[in-house]
Each structure stands twice: as structure tokens, then as C-alpha cells.
Amino acid sequence: MRAIVTGGSGFIGSEVVRRLLAEGNSVRVFSRRSDTASLFAGNVEVATGDLENVRSLIGALDGMDVLYHIGEIKNTSKKAARKNLKVLEMVLRCVKRKKIKRIVFVSSITVAGIPSSVPATEDTPPATVLNDHYTDCKRRSEKLLARGGAGVEYAVIRPGFVYGPGSRHLGTLVNLVNRFGPLGIPFPGNAKSIAPFIHVKDVASAISLAGTEPRASGQTFNLTDGSRHSWLDFLEAIAGSLGKKIRIIPLPRLLLKLTAFPVDILSGLLGLSLDAVSYADYFSRDLYFENAMTRQLLGWQPGYCLEEGVKEMTGFYAGWKV
């Protein structure tokens, strides 16, 4: 298979590239960085370009079989979200002409919202829909693909909370737990609600399979490890790997909602859409998504348990200056 990957130098994308190479595929990475190939041990072709210039991406599609669309214009505003949607629209107009056989689009579990019942499947309606610009862009992108007007196969992967080595944000979290865990870390609710965790290498495995498995065509997958771990379990696993204790300072849901209202108002004035009110609930509700469909249709199963994955992660970030 000849695959092109956007976002291939990022946290998830780089693992996807490594996975594709390990499986013997020919890989082209679309990147702003001309030195991206140095990140990988295998033979990687680099197509230099920028999603802000979508024609550079369209030109890079020549000769490819599968597009793994993981990258995005930094999604920090409604304007950026519209640009990301426009990129996908323009790509869909030309993929058939470029002879792309399938697009694998990496979305987000937030599109599934707060599920109305648990365990939730891909068909479970949300009790609360999240309307921040990031989630809305992903939701609209999924709908574009589902319309099928491009005449190309597609598969959508919605990763849950992705953890593992290689993310600056996770490095900051590990550093935070290391320094302040024993003193206390504020968290919405009591941190005992179920969270949708998934290791980055397990995400990469599922994304790779979605590009080749015939049964994945036209499907959307909520991707988690399928375990009933809480945010507290995750934070305690980090602290334990560091040889530290951790104390949670519960933040009452009502207080969070009261403070979220002005945040939403002010963000709207700045051209942002944060939906802080809904997210005040999001982190204090059970977000348990089963992964039966991913197992059945992709033949996939997670390779990491939370404790093992967190131990690997904290070992990677130990000593980081973040």
C-alpha cells in the first residue's frame, strides 16, 4: 500500500507512520518540515507543504492509495475550524481524480458527546452534545465524508483520551503530578468518573487497519481501550510510577458551571467557541465507550493496559523540562 499521512510528525501521526512502515507500506508524510524523515528509522518520503495552502496537499496525493488525514490547522478559533473544514472539502473534490482509494479521517471521541447510557456504542445518542469549535469541526467533517459525494471509501476513527510518549501536553501533566500531586490537584467532581483512555500505539494500530480492512469502509469507530478506568486511576498511576502520592481537590459541578458561563460569553466575543459549560459536566460524567465494533470489524484489540502504558509514559517524560 502507498499511504500519505498528514500530521505525520505529531503525537498520533508519527506513531501511525511508524506502524505503516513496520507493516511494509510505502509512506509519504505531508509536512511543513523538510527534515521530517529524520524522525523515522524507515524509508519515508516527505512532501513539503502546509494545510494553509491546500493545493500543496492536493499535489502530494499523486500516486497514493490511502490518505490518512490526521493533521489540522491549529484549531484555536472558529476561523481555524472553518479552514480545516475547507481543506477536507477541497480534498474530497479531487480524490477520485487522484485515484485515492480510501480516506481515513481521525476525528475525536468528543463528537459522541456525553453518552445517554453506558456502556455506549457508536449508535448511542448523546445526552449532551458538545459545541466547541474543535468538536463541531470534527462533526461537520464526519458528515462531509458520510455524504459520499467524492466517490471514495472512507473510515472515521474517534480516539478517546490518548496517552503515551511524545506529547508535550502529557509531559506537562506528568511534571505537574510530580511537583504538586502530594499537595493537591484540582479536578471537576471527584475524578472517579469513567474516562475513555487509549494508548497512542493502540490508536496507531487501529488507524492503520482502518486504511486496509474492507469491512471498515463507511464505518465510524469510537476508539478506547474498553476498560472502566477513572481519571483518578490515571492520575494515581502517574503518581505511583513517579513514587509519589496524589491528592485530588474536588471542584463542585455547580461552581464550575457558574464560572463557565462568563468564559463562554467572553470567548464568543473573541471569535472562539469553547462550550465551557458542557465541558464542566464532561469531565465529571461516566464516558464509557465499548470497543466491540473496532474489535469485530477491524480485527483490532488493545495491546496496552493502563498501568503498563502509564509506566512507559512517565519513564519517557522523566526529566523533561516542560
Our measurement of the distance from residue 96's CA atom to the centroid of its chain's CA atoms, rounded to an integer in Å, reads 26
What is the reported pTM?
0.92
Instruction: Give per-residue pLDDT as tens, 107-162.
Output: 999 999 999 999 999 999 999 999 888 899 999 999 999 998 778 999 999 999 99
What class has domain 2-317?
alpha beta
DSSP 179-236: HHTTT-EEEEBTS-SB--EEEHHHHHHHHHHHTT-GGGTTEEEEE------BHHHHHH
Give the cell for residue 213: 480492512
Give the cell for residue 212: 486496509
Pairing of strands 66-69, 114-115: unpaired
Q: Which residues of 276-288 are buried (b: 16+ CB within 10 A; e: fewer)?
A: bbbbbbbbbbbbb
Average pLDDT over residues 284-296: 95
Pairing of strands 66-69, 2-6: parallel
Measured between alpha carbons, how far is residue 210 from residues 36, 66, 156, 289 in Å? Answer: 24, 10, 8, 19
Instruction: Give per-residue pLDDT as tens, 84-119.
Output: 999 999 999 999 899 999 999 999 999 999 999 999
Q: Inform me whether the pLDDT recorded for 171 exceeds 60.
A: yes
Pairing of strands 161-163, 153-159: unpaired
Instruction: Give per-residue pLDDT as tens, 27-75.
Output: 999 999 888 888 898 889 999 999 999 999 999 999 999 999 999 998 6
Give the cell for residue 238: 502517574
* Cell 487501529 sits on residue: 206
pLDDT of residue 3: 98
CA distance 23 to 162: 22
Phi, then psi, of 44 in degrees rounded to 5: -110, 130
CA distance 231 to 199: 14
CA distance 314 to 302: 19
Task: Tell me which residue of 67, 151, 127, 69 sits closest to 102, measured CA to CA.
Answer: 67
CA distance 126 to 263: 23
Give the cell for residue 123: 449508535
Per-domain boundaries in the chain: 2-317
CA distance 142 to 138: 6
